[in-house]
């Protein structure tokens, strides 16, 4: 059965495109969850979703986050949505939040500044699109049919009454992590987790399966995002010792790192083994992180380039991505995207051919 189109999808994509044109990586429909400990397992409880998430880094790797709530219906209580959005903004730790609705009444315009929120009606949205020449932009970021065709590739398909295969169950875990757990965990945990996630499924990802390629690119985006978050921490420490500060971040801070190192020292003394805290691939990750930190103008735009290459070159089968900002292409971002894809493939064991559109760009 074909899934019905989300009636708010057009607004979400239009706002996402606006953010993208202003330098943000802007995924839509990011679900926030809470996990409950049931003793022998964890149960996920869905909280809400962010219609649009915008993430951008400046040249010092300072992160900026925007969330957008997009509603097109006439029966929406705008006041309720604003108070809800205020809570979501605070819960997620966003810097700014926007409420987008075709008609914004005067009393809602008065409430928004008091809540430190912003509102867009249809006129304001259209004027901003005109100012940014959004409708002439080469990437079809607001095309609902293209978005639905991409969304149709996400997840596993099990016939009604059937059971998923072992491979499908493995893929399902990856989809669950990327869709839910990634946004729930403390960010420092995600770098090693996303690597482990794709190491577990590397052998079953097929370069001839469009859904597997989308899964790989989504993992690459999360990998790059985790690296940028690590870079932000390293720069906050001064950026003079990348390996030391990266390890401190990845392992949960200096105290947690010391505890883990003491545990592995004890383990080696008791078992006479040579077990190491650092995974073998960590040096490759830190080398890539160092290249990103030394090239901030490229690194800060890696996420947009990965998504742009997927949409334009992989999904729409064009030969080469055009300059994202209409001027000279960001060569450093392209090179670092290629480095990220190569490193991600190497350390997880995935086939490099999954990322041919980046590696051959």
Tell me the domain boundaries of the chain: 9-142, 166-359
**Residue 2 banded pLDDT, cuts 50, 70, 90:** very low
Give the C-alpha separation, 210 to 128, whole Å. 34
Alpha-carbon separation of residue 18 from 22, 53, 135, 221, 309 (angstroms):
6, 12, 10, 20, 18
The C-alpha angle 169, 171, 173, rounded to 5 degrees, equals 75
Answer whether 312's CB lies under 8 Å from 261's CB.
no
With cut-offs at 50, 70 and 90, classify the pLDDT of residue 250: very high
Q: How confident is the model at residue 6 (pLDDT cuts 50, 70, 90)?
A: confident
- At 327-348, the pLDDT tens digits run 889 999 999 999 999 999 999 9
pLDDT at 159: 84
pLDDT above 50 for 1: no
pLDDT digits (tens, 9 = 90+) for 28-81: 999 998 888 777 777 888 888 999 999 999 999 999 999 999 999 888 899 999
Q: What percent of the chain has pLDDT over 70?
A: 98
Say what the pTM is: 0.94
Of 83-87, 127-131, 272-276, 317-321, give the lowest mean pLDDT range.
Answer: 272-276
In the numeric block, which tokens belong to residue 109?
Answer: 């315009």
* Whether pLDDT at 14 is above 70: yes
Write the class of the CATH domain 9-142.
Answer: alpha beta
H or E, element range at 190: helix 190-201
Distances (CA, A) of 36 to 40, 75, 77, 84, 354: 11, 34, 31, 23, 35
How far is Cα 360 from Cα 162, in angstroms, rounded to an integer?
40
342 vs 351: CA distance, rounded Å: 10
């Amino acid at each position: 059965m074909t899934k019905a189109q989300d009636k708010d999808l057009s607004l979400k994509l239009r706002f996402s495109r606006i953010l993208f044109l202003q330098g943000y990586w802007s995924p839509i429909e990011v679900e926030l969850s809470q996990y409950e400990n049931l003793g022998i397992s964890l149960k996920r409880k869905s909280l809400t979703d962010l219609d649009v998430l915008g993430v951008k880094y400046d040249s010092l790797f300072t992160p900026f986050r925007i969330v957008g709530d997009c509603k097109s219906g006439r029966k929406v209580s705008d006041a309720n949505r604003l108070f809800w959005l205020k809570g979501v903004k605070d819960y997620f730790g966003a810097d700014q939040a926007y409420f987008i609705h075709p008609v914004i009444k005067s009393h809602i315009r008065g409430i928004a500044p008091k809540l430190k929120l912003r509102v867009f009606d249809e006129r304001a949205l259209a004027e901003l699109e005109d100012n940014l020449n959004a409708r002439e932009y080469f990437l079809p970021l607001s095309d609902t049919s293209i978005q639905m065709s991409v969304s149709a590739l996400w997840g596993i398909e099990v016939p009604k009454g059937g059971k998923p295969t072992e491979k499908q169950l493995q893929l399902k875990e990856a989809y669950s992590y990327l869709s839910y757990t990634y946004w729930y965990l403390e960010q420092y945990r995600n770098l090693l987790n996303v690597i482990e996630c794709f190491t577990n499924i590397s052998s079953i990802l097929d370069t001839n399966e469009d859904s597997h390629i989308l899964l790989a690119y989504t993992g690459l985006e999360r990998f790059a995002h985790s690296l940028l978050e690590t870079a932000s921490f390293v720069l906050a420490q001064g950026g003079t010792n990348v390996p030391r500060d990266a390890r401190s971040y990845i392992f949960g801070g200096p105290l947690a790192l010391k505890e883990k190192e003491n545990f592995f020292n004890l383990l080696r003394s008791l078992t006479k083994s040579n077990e190491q805290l650092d995974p073998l691939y960590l040096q490759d990750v830190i080398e890539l992180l160092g290249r990103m930190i030394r090239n901030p103008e490229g690194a800060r735009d890696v996420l947009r380039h990965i998504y742009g290459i997927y949409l334009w070159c992989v999904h729409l089968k064009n030969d080469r991505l055009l300059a994202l900002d209409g001027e000279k292409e960001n060569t450093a971002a392209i090179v670092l995207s290629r480095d990220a894809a190569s490193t991600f493939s190497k350390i997880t064991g995935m086939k490099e051919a999954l990322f041919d559109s980046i590696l051959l760009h």
